[in-house]
Structure 1
Amino acid sequence: MTGPGIALAMQPGQRTEHVLPDQLLDRLAGLGTLLDRQPLENFDDERARRVLADTEILITGWGAPFAGENVLSLAKGLKLVAHAAGTVKGIVGEEIFNAGVKVTHAAEANAVPVAEFTLAAILFAGKQVFRFRDFYTADRDRDRTYPMQRLAIGNYGRTVGIIGASRIGRRVIELLKPFEFKIVLFDPTLSAAECAVLGTEKCDLDTLMRISDIVSLHAPSLPSTRHMIDAAKLALMKDGAALINTARGAILDEAALLATLATGRIDAVIDVTDPEVPEKASPFYDLPNVFLTPHIAGAVGLERARLGEMAVDEVERFLKGQPLRYALTLADLDRVA
């Protein structure tokens, strides 16, 4: 065996297609010994025991089996877990961190398409593109859309409220800078000076909900953030305002959101729900002021290659003795999604 043993663990198939294409697998094989080009789907069969016995670097991804004491007992030389996806919760156990194994993840790569999707959603929501489309295709004339152009819509001089200066929230703020928006930010962990450095104005949550034309959620899903946007917060929103959620469904009180949307007072772009797939009778599917997508803001298709590239880059840095760019500690798990 030449170089450290490198193993893969993820659910092969549709979700992980494009994450580790052949060129990335070849690159891994040049960094060490790629023990098996086929990912492990569990850690309790004979193939897994054989592969893990020689594993020093484990690359995980979507659908990977849980790695805890079970993996440590088999991979006694394990030094690094590089997660080629976003959150490691439910994938990497505390035992891995406590054993001194380095852990890194590719959430930064997944943030790129989410931020891009959010930018598009903000611009379309501000210009009421979805309503224009619906009226135009339904009527097949412009009798309703011509008068709409005189309304106070569009993106010039609008206020965008960002909830959460997460990696995605910060990318969205950066993408918004070329436009003539006023950007306000709610994040209790940042001072007014730190918000100003980001190019935003620090705002309390109630004020943000009240003054924003478009509100975009980027807070992590934690017990402390569950239903942080409730009926009282939604009631503060301007008539005609739009709410965008590309974070997690549990951040919103969805019963309160649906009740508010049913009045037609606000619009929403919803990419995530709680549960992840709404019931077939859910009003999310039918409300004309909701643009619903099936959790596609994150990496899909060719965008997934960024995840694998970031994981392989981290492996290379680790083997060269360089600091990991996206290392996680056990303490980080309490504040990240």
Structure 2
Amino acid sequence: MTGSAEPPAGGAGRPRVVVSVPPPLRAQLFSPAVWDRLAARTEPVVLDGHTDRDALAAALPGARALITSWGSPRVDAGLLDVADRLALVAHTGSAVAPYVTEEVFRRGVRVTQAGDAMARPVAEVALAFTLSLLHRVHRFDHALRTGADWDTASAAPPRHEVHGSGIGVIGASRTGRAYIALARAVGARVSVADPYLDAADAEKLGVRLLPLEELLERSRIVAVHAPATEETRHLLGARRLALMPDGAGLVNTARSWLVDEDALLAEVRSGRLDAAIDVFDAEPLPVGHPLRALPNVLLTPHQAAGTVECRLRMGASAADEVLRLLDGKPPLHAVSARALARLH
């Protein structure tokens, strides 16, 4: 791994960068300006068949950097054996665990991710979910679309404004903090449960720090923004979901890992809770899945970060990390081996 700048760009001497991103996504991630900036300093080798491990193995010899996307083969010892000059794996998404192994770190290859680019749009979707649940918009929409008469469609549990509502946030992550800022901006009273957040940081965020169980009991809406670690597997199971007040709503734009889907299904089937969900145990969500038919559940197909602006930031982030490598600068969004071991 180099610690100094690469030789100046020029002709055949330009460092090779493998771009394991399919054409449609490549067009979304890399603006012409960003691609031109990358191509001016490097020799990009694009893999249209980005899931093809053999194609990746053939492209890696001599490459200084690898840009990965969803579905790219996991970089393991076998691929590293042929990646004789690899110094960086720059992932265009947030979760890198599916795409690299600990062997990458043992061989001194840097790993970066573009999660910062995703925080704002995911937080905006979480806020949109929050408003929909508070106003029962999803229930009205479902009733009208499925043929209910006007009076029946107009019936719903009590509705609330976000101003003054108690909103609970599980996890003061990047996305959690972006959501907190948006929720507070529209007048919500925000509480946070996060074992790594101290009182001073909570005060800076303008939130009340609560134990998880108390947060669940006191919140009209609970928004999940915690990381997926061994400790957070099914953080919200049947016992904790039962603590939420009747008529409350759960927002999950983070990971299905955090919520026991069967336990949540039981709660929403009963009508006691509403939910808005972007992430699922099985993706694609099966057509016959019972969540699809429930009037008190709002569903989106894992698209919370899918804005035009977000995709462009993700591509720019990965390209910038490659150029920082060539300039001998440290990465801006590095992932450590320790973090990789914790995250799922």
Instruction: Decide: shared fold, TM above 0.5.
Output: yes
- Paired position in structure 1 for 2:106: 98
Shift of 1:330: 0.2
- Paired position in structure 1 for 2:88: 80
Shift of 1:110: 2.3
1:334 maps to a residue whose letter is: A
SS of the aligned residue for 1:44 comes to helix
Pairing of 1:41-120 with structure 2 (within 5 A): 41-45=51-55, 48-49=57-58, 51-120=59-128
In 1, Cα distance between the equivalents of 2:176 and 2:270?
A: 29
Fraction of identical pairs, as percent:
38
SS of the aligned residue for 2:250 comes to strand
- Paired position in structure 2 for 1:313: 320
Distance verdict in 2 for CA 1:86–1:16, change over 3 Å:
farther
SS of the aligned residue for 1:108 comes to helix
Shift of 1:41: 4.0
- Paired position in structure 2 for 1:163: 170
| Structure 1 unaligned residues grouped into runs of 5+ | none
Shift of 1:62: 1.2
- Paired position in structure 1 for 2:6: none
- The counterpart of 1:253, out of the listed 244, 247, 260, is 260
Pairing of 1:27-42 with structure 2 (within 5 A): 27-36=37-46, 38=48, 41-42=51-52
In 2, Cα distance between the equivalents of 1:324 and 1:200?
A: 31
SS of the aligned residue for 2:192 comes to strand
What whole-Å deviation, never above 9, does each CA across 1:223-266 have from its counterpart, x for those lacking one? 22121111111111111111111112122112221111122111
Structure 1 position 8 matched with structure 2 position 16: no
1:257 maps to a residue whose letter is: L
SS of the aligned residue for 1:56 comes to strand
In 2, Cα distance between the equivalents of 1:40 and 1:262?
A: 40
Shift of 1:299: 2.4
1:80 maps to a residue whose letter is: L
SS of the aligned residue for 1:131 comes to helix
Distance verdict in 2 for CA 1:285–1:73, change over 3 Å:
same
Distance verdict in 2 for CA 1:134–1:78, change over 3 Å:
closer
Shift of 1:163: 0.6
Contact 1:164/1:219, CA 8 A, preserved across alignment: yes
Structure 1 position 195 matched with structure 2 position 166: no
Moved more, 244-253 or 277-286: 277-286
- Paired position in structure 2 for 1:284: 291
What whole-Å deviation, never above 9, does each CA across 1:190-220 have from its counterpart, x for those lacking one? 2222222222111111101100000011112
Distance verdict in 2 for CA 1:247–1:29, change over 3 Å:
same
SS of the aligned residue for 1:219 comes to coil
- Paired position in structure 1 for 2:8: none
Contact 1:103/1:328, CA 8 A, preserved across alignment: yes
Contact 1:220/1:335, CA 8 A, preserved across alignment: no
Contact 1:17/1:301, CA 8 A, preserved across alignment: no
- Taking structure 2 as the reference length, what is the TM-score of the superposition? 0.88
SS of the aligned residue for 1:216 comes to strand
What whole-Å deviation, never above 9, does each CA across 1:57-100 have from its counterpart, x for those lacking one? 11111111111222322221111111111211121111111111
- Paired position in structure 1 for 2:4: none
Shift of 1:222: 2.3
What whole-Å deviation, never above 9, does each CA across 1:88-133 have from its counterpart, x for those lacking one? 1121111111111111111211223211111111122222222333
SS of the aligned residue for 2:13 comes to coil
Distance verdict in 2 for CA 1:213–1:5, change over 3 Å:
same
In 1, Cα distance between the equivalents of 2:79 and 2:159?
A: 59
Contact 1:206/1:236, CA 8 A, preserved across alignment: yes
- Taking structure 1 as the reference length, what is the TM-score of the superposition? 0.89
Distance verdict in 2 for CA 1:67–1:136, change over 3 Å:
closer
In 1, Cα distance between the equivalents of 2:216 and 2:25?
A: 35
1:96 maps to a residue whose letter is: V
What whole-Å deviation, never above 9, does each CA across 1:121-166 have from its counterpart, x for those lacking one? 1122222222333455645646864x869x4522120011001112
In 2, Cα distance between the equivalents of 1:336 and 1:198?
A: 25
Distance verdict in 2 for CA 1:13–1:33, change over 3 Å:
closer
- Paired position in structure 2 for 1:185: 192
Distance verdict in 2 for CA 1:58–1:144, change over 3 Å:
closer
| Structure 2 unaligned residues grouped into runs of 5+ | 1-11
- Paired position in structure 1 for 2:35: 25
SS of the aligned residue for 2:52 comes to coil
